[in-house]
Chains A and B, each alone.
Chain A
Amino acid sequence: MKSAVIVFPGSNCDRDIKVALEGCGSEVAMVWHGDKKLPDVDLVVVPGGFSYGDYLRSGAMAAHSPIMNEVKKFGEKGGYILGICNGFQILTEAHILPGTLMRNKNLKFICKDVYLKPENTDTAFTSGYKDKKAIRIPIAHHDGNFFASEKEIKELEKNKQIAFRYCTKSGSINDKSNPNGSMNNIAGIFNKEKNILGLMPHPERLWEKAVGGEDGKAMFESLIANFG
């Protein structure tokens, strides 16, 4: 598998995802946001961080970077895109994914491990999570409160576009397991075609035992299994 990681001014998880993808067996190219061309790759990652200092709204500026036009076209042609944290915010601001990420309900920056229930494991991103009730992945964000119109939420649910929901360690989904106020406990969503995934949690931060856990690894292994 060949991957590209987009680097914006203020990205800070770009190197982490590079290390994780390489560790799982992917070639990785770093692509500057001002570039106007994507290399020939299977996967484009829009990484976490604080692009443009979160000015105006998280992800709003980065969504209009020159490279994002190419990323959008790449996705429309069926290319695989993964947006993590700020990357998810950028994908919604660029209208590549629906909804938006609002300020956390408790107004605090939240940095901790949470449990996620994989809701659809029939995708290239999540096939490695079959039969998993709950996986442990860290979150680190101020604006992770997923919001979409009622109509959009219905569409997301109907089309099996919910990738992950915040849950308890045993896999139950309730208000207590919802760290940021997201509608329907949504932590990550796919586009309708399932070639684009955006999620607030950071799988690249828990992908090998040396960093305290490896529940994130299955996502990269799933992708690599899909592309060879």
Chain B
Amino acid sequence: MKAKIYITLKNGVLDPQGKAIEGALGHLGFSGINEVRQGKFIEVELKESDKKKAEAKIEDMCKQLLANTVIENYSFELAS
């Protein structure tokens, strides 16, 4: 089973990298951009075949290491 994990900055947390990307897109001539926020994408291949157990495991991984919950949110989807 494969987990696709998305880590994003919480609302209200300043994202200077997102701002820089926004600026660069503007320089390239892309208009009409309200805001750019950047984050991380992580794939984890699991041996677990039980969906419930896999979800609990990924949840734990996110809390303990993959995301810093002071500033980041996480979400994930599982695919077999």
What is A's interface to B at a CB cutoff of 8 Å?
56-57, 60, 64, 92-93, 98-100, 102-107, 147-149, 181
Contact = CB atoms under 8 A, between A and B. Distances in A.
Q: What does DSSP make chain A's interface, helix, strand, loop or mixed? A: loop
B65 A56 contact: yes
Given A99-B70, A102-B14, 14 more contacts: A56-B65, A60-B65, A64-B64, A64-B65, A92-B70, A100-B70, A102-B71, A103-B16, A105-B16, A107-B16, A107-B17, A147-B70, A147-B71, A149-B70
A181 B16 contact: yes
6 contacts: A56-B66, A100-B68, A100-B70, A102-B71, A107-B20, A148-B70
B13 interface: yes
A105 B68 CA distance: 18
Contacts of B14: 102, 105, 147, 181
Contacts, number: 34
Interface size class of chain B, counting residues whose CB lies under 8 Å from the partner chain: 10 to 19
B16 A106 contact: yes
Given A103-B17, A181-B16, A57 B68 contact: yes
Interface in B32-75: 64-66, 68, 70-71
A181 B15 CA distance: 11
Contacts of A106: 16
A100 B71 contact: yes
Nearest to A64: B65
B34 to A, nearest CB: 21
Nearest to A93: B68
Given A100-B71, A102-B71, A107-B20, A147 B13 contact: yes
